Amino acid sequence: MFSRFTIISLIIISFTVGCKNIESTPQTEESADIAEPTQPTSQSQALKDDINVEDVDVSQNSIENDIEYYEDEENLEFVYEEFDISRVLNRLQLGELMENRSLEVLLAAQLREGDQLVEDVLETGDGTFDIYKLVDSFDNELAYFYYESDVIGTIEIIHSGGVPDAMIRPGLTYEELRNTYDNPIAYGSAIEARVFVHEGDVGFRMDTSYGIAEPIDLEDDTEILYIQF
């Protein structure tokens, strides 16, 4: 049987240990509601290991480079295709003129719906010419056909509607012409001071005047009046 002294000692020791446990793990209502973090599972740890932060470039230089790239994309100019005589005539359903530039072939052509040929006389600084005009359903004069003795000598495309949208055409500018052709050169003329840019068999009549047959500089916004071949 335990002595009274032993029992009292055990009670004191038990009380002391209990107080130490309470002091070492204080609890509040707030802390009681917070769950202790769990150790990551092997699957989540593997996922974290697969993500290499160095692979994600979010530096200031990277952002600036991206901005410059997209600005350059927006500022890219559309470059028009070179003028193609065959494609233009086929567009107007006059492809047979590539083989035979006769008035007979022109008048026998099956034109597009709404297009028609109108006979006319044109007076220029060169004289008076018999021509046929190709007119569309909106009364736009698309092309002039100059003929003599049943032979068509010159064809002029007057309106942008006579040319495919992606191709250089009347109404565009010298700047756009320069983007399409390498180093196009404009020449003046003693005839009505007309200014032309010639590329192969194609002549671009520019909306300016210069009375001497020599190369001249043009402003970028000088328009193409018509295209002849």
pLDDT of 216 higher than 80: yes
For 112-132, what is the mean pLDDT? 93
pLDDT of residue 210: 97
Which residue carries 């335990």 as its tokens?
Answer: 2
Which of the pair, 114 or 69, is modelled with greater confidence? Answer: 114
Instruction: Quote the tokens at residue 168.
Output: 């250089």
**Phi, psi values for residue 97, rounded to 5°:** -70, -15
Going by pLDDT thresholds of 50, 70 and 90, the confidence category of residue 35 is: very low
**Mean pLDDT lowest for which of 44-58, 78-92, 106-120, 178-192?**
44-58
Going by pLDDT thresholds of 50, 70 and 90, the confidence category of residue 1 is: very low
Instruction: Quote the tokens at residue 135.
Output: 């007119």
* Residues above pLDDT 70, as percent of the chain: 67
List the one residue out of 216, 220, 217, 226 whose CA is nearest residue 188. Answer: 216
Going by pLDDT thresholds of 50, 70 and 90, the confidence category of residue 125 is: confident
- Domain range annotation of the chain: 85-228
pLDDT of 138 higher than 60: yes
The whole-chain average pLDDT of the chain stands at: 81
Going by pLDDT thresholds of 50, 70 and 90, the confidence category of residue 127 is: confident
pLDDT of 175 higher than 50: yes
Going by pLDDT thresholds of 50, 70 and 90, the confidence category of residue 220 is: very high
Going by pLDDT thresholds of 50, 70 and 90, the confidence category of residue 29 is: very low
Q: With the C-alpha atoms ordered 81, 86, 91, 97, is the resulting torsion angle positive or negative?
A: positive
* Residues above pLDDT 90, as percent of the chain: 63
pLDDT of residue 135: 98
- Is 85-228 CATH 2.20.28? no
